[in-house]
Amino acid sequence: MLDTVHENPRPDRTATPIELIEQLARVAAAYYRHFAAAAAGHGLTLMQGKTLSLLTRPRSMRGLAGLLSCDASNVTGIVDRLEARDLVLREPDPSDRRVKNIALTEHGERTVRLIRADLMSGLTALEALTAEDRGALRSLLDRAFPETTSAAYRALPG
């Protein structure tokens, strides 16, 4: 274990907050570039792909708007287009007739799986990390962006 060190912290590199923010900008851009390419491979937009991948369980329009960080009126159009391609379904909520629950169709579930696979195959360097490195990266990102833990996302209403 101890001899599998990849010269880890590499303290010679500058790592000021500014430098780190610029690198995060590049990483975020690279991530979305990969994701958009994977979605485009299935004729979908970045937002449409994001929406599909958020539907691990049915969600209300408002809930989706929150997760997508956009106005609810946008979600109407996005879901309209996804529904027109039979990727998604609007179901009336049994306990509140105002809300519509959006759920993946079978075709939608297949598409999400394919997009996710394409995305992962494009991020080969990420899979090349050791389990130790992945754990360290997760821990650091959790502390750098405490608002975005997976627990916080799952617990959201809608």
Partner DNA sequence: CGTCGATGGTTTATGACCTCAAGCATTGTT
Partner DNA sequence: AACAATGCTTGAGGTCATAAACCATCGACG
CB of 145 to DNA, least distance (A): 20
Cite the DSSP H helix spans in the chain: 17-40, 46-54, 61-68, 72-84, 106-122, 124-127, 131-144, 150-154
Q: How far apart are CA 62 and CA 40, in angstroms?
A: 25
Rounded Cα distance, 141 and 96, in Å? 37
Examine residue 33 and tell whether it contacts DNA (CB under 7 A): no
Place of tokens 């039979």: 86
Here's the x/- map for DNA, 58-97, by CB under 7 A: it reads as --xxxx----x-xxxxxxxxxxxx--------x--x--xx
- The site for a copy of itself, by CB under 8 A, has a size of 58
Confirm if 55 and 117 have CB atoms less than 8 A apart: no
Nearer to DNA, 27 or 140 (CB): 27
String of contacts with a copy of itself for each residue 44-63, x by CB under 8 A: ------x--x----------
Q: Which residues of 130-143 are buried (b: 16+ CB within 10 A; e: fewer)?
A: eeeeeeeeeeeeee
**Angstrom distance (rounded) from CA 123 to CA 64:** 26
Within residues 112-151, the interface with a copy of itself by CB under 8 A covers: 116, 119-120, 123, 125-129, 131-148, 150
Q: Please report, as ranges, the residues that interact with DNA according to CB under 7 A.
A: 36, 40, 45-48, 60-63, 68, 70-81, 90, 93, 96-101, 158
Q: Please report, as ranges, the residues that interact with a copy of itself according to CB under 8 A.
A: 6, 8-11, 13, 15-33, 35, 50, 53, 69, 116, 119-120, 123, 125-129, 131-148, 150, 153
